Structure 1
Amino acid sequence: MKKLDNHLIGIDQGDVVLFSDFEDGGAMWTGEGPRERRKAVRFGEPFRAAPSVHISISLFDADTDAAIRAELTADNVTAEGFEIVFRTWLDTRIARMRATWLAIGALEHDDNWVID
């Protein structure tokens, strides 16, 4: 559990298109085997430290002729941003993918003193 020791808490959120590979024959739609896409996200303003980030699927357009295999994670979370990572493998074909995210964490404020 992450405990926030600050009275100023920030919540940032967004919705990000990760890819639309059916339009141009991209690897998520035409490829096979392990495939990965990363998308960098910058917060509207920095948090005091790395926030808690929640990611979910807001659009998932997949071919149903094969099993649907997918993983969606947040990686490299910092006070300034993070990366959304989508992975699939074997013969799964994904046409389009969009993810929504929510970040919650402490913000800087004037009472945060740094004493050397």
Structure 2
Amino acid sequence: MRRFSGPIGIEQGSKILFSDYAHDGAMWTGSGPREVRHVQEFREHFVEPPMVTVGVSMWDIAHQTNSRVDITAENITARGFVIVFRTWADTRVARIRADWMAIGQARDEDDWDVA
């Protein structure tokens, strides 16, 4: 369990990662291991790296093959993180929307930084 002291910040968002069916992109026409990365910055920085969850909130996948999906948050910092979507084999993905939530220690309005 992670414990926080002081104010807690929660930020959430939604991002369409790609629409590969529109331009015959690799997720739609390719095969084998494929990956898409999206850098997501927080609107307001956390004090330290927050806890981040990512999930698929919309998917458009061809029904002729198995649906193989892996989505995760990587490189989490106080400023942001990377949403990583992967598929493999013959799965054909037209588009994906990812929803995410970050929870962590927020800066207090009384905090100040001498730089």
Q: Give me the whole-angstrom Cα distance separating, in 2, the residues matched to 1:65 and 1:106.
A: 45
In the TM superposition, residue 58 of structure 1 has moved relative to its aligned partner by 1.2
Q: Which residue of 2 aligns with 1:30?
A: 29
Q: Which residue of 1 aligns with 2:46?
A: 47
Q: Give me the whole-angstrom Cα distance separating, in 2, the residues matched to 1:111 and 1:41.
A: 25
Q: Give me the whole-angstrom Cα distance separating, in 1, the residues matched to 2:52 and 2:65.
A: 31
Deviations 1:57-81 (A, max 9, x none): 1110000101111100000000000
Q: Give me the whole-angstrom Cα distance separating, in 2, the residues matched to 1:82 and 1:97.
A: 18
Q: Which residue of 2 aligns with 1:4?
A: 4
In the TM superposition, residue 93 of structure 1 has moved relative to its aligned partner by 0.2
Q: Which residue of 2 aligns with 1:89?
A: 88
Question: Any idea what SS the aligned residue of 1:4 has?
Answer: coil
When normalised by structure 1's length, the TM-score is 0.92
Q: Which residue of 1 aligns with 2:106?
A: 107
In the TM superposition, residue 111 of structure 1 has moved relative to its aligned partner by 5.5
Q: Give me the whole-angstrom Cα distance separating, in 2, the residues matched to 1:53 and 1:112.
A: 25
Deviations 1:93-115 (A, max 9, x none): 000000000101001223689xx
Question: Any idea what SS the aligned residue of 2:27 has?
Answer: helix
Q: Give me the whole-angstrom Cα distance separating, in 2, the residues matched to 1:95 and 1:108.
A: 40
Task: State the identity as a percent.
Answer: 49
Q: Give me the whole-angstrom Cα distance separating, in 1, the residues matched to 2:2 and 2:79.
A: 18
Equivalent residue pairs, number:
113
Q: Which residue of 1 aligns with 2:15?
A: 16
Q: Which residue of 2 aligns with 1:58?
A: 57
Task: Could you tell me which runs of 5 or more consecutive residues in structure 1 were left unpaired when the two chains were aligned.
Answer: none
